[in-house]
Structure 1
Amino acid sequence: MGITVGFDLDMTLIDPRPGMVAAMNALGAEAGLPLDGEHFAANLGPPLDDALRGFEAPEERIPGLVDRFRALYPELVVPITVALPGAAEALRAVRAAGGRTLVVTGKYGPNAQLHVDALGLEVDELVGELWSTRKAEALLAHDARVYVGDHAGDVRGALAAGATPVGVATGPCDRTLLLSEGAEVVFDSLTEFPDWFERTFAGSVVP
C-alpha cells in the first residue's frame, strides 16, 4: 500500500477568498460589528474564533458568531470557491501511486466536505477543526508521511507529526517564511507537486 499524503484545504487545494469576504462582511452587518472580510480572507489559516477576537468581537458573542458564520457558509462561500491550479492533479498523483489522500483543515468539517464534494476532489479522508500543531493528531492517526500546506501552521503540524513538510506559496505565507519554519520544499503552486512526488515517494510502501 502506498503512503498517505495530507493536504491543507484553504489556499492549498481551494481558493475560497471571494466567498470568505462576502460571508464575513454579511456576518458583520448582521451582528453590528466592524468585521473586515478583506482582511479575513487575506489571512486564512487560524481558527475562526481567533479571527473574530482579532476584530475585537466581544468574547461572549463569539460562539454565536461562529455558529452563524457556519450557517451562512454553504450559500455564500461554497458556490463561488474554485480549486487552485494543480490541486486535482496533486490528489490524483497520490492515488495513482497507490497512496491515500487526507485533508486536515482548521475549517468546520461539514463545510470543508461541501467544498470537496462540489469540486469533485479525490479525497479519501477529511478531518476538520485542527490548526497548527494540533493537525499532528490527524496526521499521526492516519499515518500520513507528507503534509502539504500554505501556512506556517501547516509546517508546524507536519513537523509535530514527523511528516515531511511541503509548502505551497499560494496563501498568506511566502516561500522564505515557509522555509524558515522548516518546509523541506516549497512550490509556487501544486502544479509542481506530481513530479516531485513521483521522484521522492512514488513506490514507497508502508510496512
Structure 2
Amino acid sequence: MKDAGLVVGFDLDMTLVDSRHSIAGSMRKVLQERGVAATDEQLWPLIGAPLLDNLGHFLPAGQVVAAAADYRAHYLQHAIELTVPLPGAAALVAAIHETGGTVLVVSAKNPPAVRATLEHVGIVPDVVVGDLFGHDKSAPLREHGATAYVGDHAGDMHAARAAEAVAVGVTTGPADAVTLRAAGADLIVGELTELVPRLGELRTR
C-alpha cells in the first residue's frame, strides 16, 4: 500500500552508516598534526556531536576552526571509503520509498560529506540537511513533515520530540537503550533491520 504520508528522517553517523573508523582516523590525523594524541575510547562517545565541539575537547579555542577545515578536507579525500552501511539501512530506505514515503537525512556532518558518504554506500534519500545537531534538527523535520526521526544519539531523540515526530532510537552508536529512553525515545531497536516490518509504527505510534 502506498503511504505518501510516511516521512522518515534519519541521522547519518552510526545510524545509517558505520563511520567510526572514518571519523576517528580523521580526528587522530588533525590532532596529531597539532601534537595531541587521542584514543578510540576518547573519540567514540563523541561521534554524532558537532565537529567544532569535539575538537574543542582536545585543542585550544584558537586552533579549532583551522583544525575543522583540515578534518573536513582529510575526511573527503581519505575517510569516506572506510565507511560502510549499517545492517538494514539500505533495505529500510528502499522499503520507505516502495510505500511512496519520503526519506530525509539530517546530520551534524557538513552537507558535502553527508552527500559523499551516502553516495559511497549507495543510499539515496529525498532530502539532505547538514550542520545541525540536537534540538536544531527539529526545524527541517517540521519543515518536511517528518512522521518519525531515527537516530543513535540522545540529541536525536530531543529533535524528534521537538518536531512532534516518533522518536526512534537505535543502539548502534555510543548511546545505550537506557540513555535513549531517558532522552524520549518512543521506540528502540538494536539495528535498522527491525524497522522494515514495523513501518506502520513510524507513522501511527
Normalised by the shorter chain, which TM-score bucket? over 0.9
Does 2:22 match 1:16? no
Gaps of 5+ in 2: none
Partner of 2:79: 77
Whether the 8 Å contact between 2:93 and 2:103 is mirrored in structure 1 is: yes
Partner of 2:166: 164
Alignment of 1:23-102 (within 5 A): 23-36=26-39, 38-55=41-58, 57-102=59-104
Whether the 8 Å contact between 1:20 and 1:37 is mirrored in structure 2 is: no
For residues 130-178 of structure 1, give each alpha carbon's deviation from its aligned partner in whole angstroms, at most 9, with x where no partner exists.
Answer: 0000000110111111000011000001011111100101001101111
Whether the 8 Å contact between 1:22 and 1:76 is mirrored in structure 2 is: no
SS state at 2:8 partner: strand
Partner of 2:5: 2
Measured in 2, the distance between the counterparts of 1:89 and 1:2 equals: 19
What is the Cα deviation at residue 75 of structure 1?
Answer: 2.4
How many residues get paired? 201
Specify whether residues 147 and 21 from structure 1 end up closer, same or farther in structure 2 by C-alpha distance, changes over 3 A only.
same
Measured in 1, the distance between the counterparts of 2:83 and 2:132 equals: 21
Measured in 1, the distance between the counterparts of 2:172 and 2:89 equals: 11
How much is the aligned-residue C-alpha RMSD, in angstroms? 1.5
What is the Cα deviation at residue 24 of structure 1?
Answer: 1.1
Alignment of 1:133-144 (within 5 A): 133-144=135-146
Measured in 2, the distance between the counterparts of 1:201 and 1:151 equals: 18
Give the structure-2-normalised TM-score. 0.93
What is the Cα deviation at residue 89 of structure 1?
Answer: 0.9
Percentage identity across aligned positions? 37
Gaps of 5+ in 1: none
Measured in 2, the distance between the counterparts of 1:133 and 1:39 equals: 24
For residues 80-133 of structure 1, give each alpha carbon's deviation from its aligned partner in whole angstroms, at most 9, with x where no partner exists.
Answer: 110000000111111111101000000011011001111110211100010000
Whether the 8 Å contact between 1:25 and 1:37 is mirrored in structure 2 is: no
Greater mean deviation of Cα atoms: 78-87 or 18-27 = 18-27
For residues 36-85 of structure 1, give each alpha carbon's deviation from its aligned partner in whole angstroms, at most 9, with x where no partner exists.
Answer: 45522343121011111112x11111111111100000122200110000
Does 2:133 match 1:149? no
Amino acid at match of 1:19: S
Whether the 8 Å contact between 1:24 and 1:36 is mirrored in structure 2 is: no
